[in-house]
Amino acid sequence: MGRFSGKTAVITGSGRRKGLGEAIALRLAREGANIVISDIGKAAEPATPAEHIGATDEMEAIAGDIRKAGVAASTKVCDVRDLEQMRALARHAVDTHGSLDIWVNNAGIGYIMKPLLDVTADDWRAVIDVNLTGCFFGIKAAAELMVKAGKGGRIVNIASQAAKSGFPHAQAYTSSKHGLVGLVRSAAIELGAHAITVNNVCPNHVTTGLGAWQNEYFSKVVGAVSVEAYLEAMAGRIPLKRPGKPEDTANAVAFLCSDEAEYITAESMNVSGGEEPH
Ligand SMILES: NC(=O)c1ccc[n+]([C@@H]2O[C@H](COP(=O)([O-])OP(=O)(O)OC[C@H]3O[C@@H](n4cnc5c(N)ncnc54)[C@H](O)[C@@H]3O)[C@@H](O)[C@H]2O)c1
């Protein structure tokens, strides 16, 4: 029996290998949670190119790994920009696994990066749609069923260090993640009466698939240095002397989803080795 035995967790954007979503799913499964792996499943248009998304075969492979932990796992394709798809995802958890207890808004895009003067209106909207509106839709879809069930719940957004500090070439990304700080503060007030907590986890850099793309972009385009030199400089300025690992974020999510965190809500918790102090 683990801390999450008998509970069901939905993790959006968890269908990509090496991603934070995969690590969170595996972590919650190891402690007994039944898992719904959800992702967009296929490239849709320029905002979700094939090389950056969790495809359906990848989603199934991750669900297969999770079943090896001895829990139930299912997959459900869902575009977080569509409220009705998010509601269907929440219903899928209840219909397939019997309840919806934990919802992690992890889906995000961080590969539309440009100098401010080159950003188009479509670039801006594409990032806000996934990273901020997608989290709002997730909170709403999850809370609708959690309130109805009357057993409380846990909602966690994967925000970022970019929820607290600015970054060049990332106006929309930084704004979307800062927006999540306000979103949890507001949602937590209304959902507290239902024993539903709503928090953000704010990781600094992690070399996931997205993180590896960002290493290339920031080292070459912004810094004009090698990826190795860029990563070395990054590690040097982090008090704990290394970038984040997917497990660091997964550990923080597991804590916020546990009974031990029942009195913690509206928080934006840094997981940054001390790099982000506020
Ligand atoms: N890697 C980092 O350094 C880092 C740091 C801080 C925060 N984050 C955040 O963590 C989260 C996960 O990032 P990651 O690094 O694991 O990247 P990733 O690319 O591995 O995962 C992101 C997932 O989101 C999915 N996605 C994109 N658009 C979607 C949509 N419309 N609907 C459903 N799913 C969609 C992708 O298919 C992908 O599987 C993101 O929100 C990201 O902003 C990452």
Q: Ligand 1 centroid to 13 CA: how many Å?
A: 6
Which tokens is 205 given? Answer: 């850099």
Atom of ligand 1 nearest to the CA of 107: 24
**Contacts of residue 38, Cβ cutoff 8 Å, sequence gap at least 6:** 10, 11, 12, 13, 14, 15, 59, 75, 76, 77, 78, 89
Residue nearest to atom 6 of ligand 1 (CA): 160
Alpha-carbon gap, residue 182 to 186, rounded angstroms: 6
pLDDT at 51: 86
User: What amino acid is encoded at 143 in this protein?
Assistant: A
Task: Enumerate residue ranges in the chain where pLDDT < 50.
Answer: none
What domains, with CATH codes, occur in the chain?
8-207+245-271 (3.40.50.720)
E-strand ranges in 12-152 read 34-39, 73-77, 102-105
Give which of 213, 240, 238 is closest to 227, Cα–Cα: 213
pLDDT at 241: 98
Sign of CA dihedral 236, 215, 180, 26: negative
Output the pTM of the full model. 0.98
pLDDT at 43: 83
Other C-beta atoms closer than 10 Å to the C-beta of 147 total 17
Residue nearest to atom 16 of ligand 1 (CA): 19
pLDDT at 180: 99
Q: Is 111 among the residues known to form the active site?
A: no
pLDDT at 47: 80
Ligand 1 pocket mutation, candidates 11, 17, 20, criterion most atoms within 8 A of CB: 20
pLDDT at 147: 98
pLDDT at 222: 72
Alpha-carbon gap, residue 139 to 178, rounded angstroms: 16
Q: Which DSSP state fits 272?
A: S
Atom of ligand 1 nearest to the CA of 53: 37
Whose structure tokens read 């060049």? 168
pLDDT tens-digit map of 114-173: 999 999 999 999 999 999 999 999 999 999 999 999 999 999 999 999 999 999 999 999
- Phi/psi for 48 (5° steps) reads -135, 70
E-strand ranges in 40-133 read 73-77, 102-105
- How crowded is the C-beta side of 20, counted as CA atoms within 13 Å? 32
Q: Which of 111, 173, 230, 263 is catalytic?
A: 173
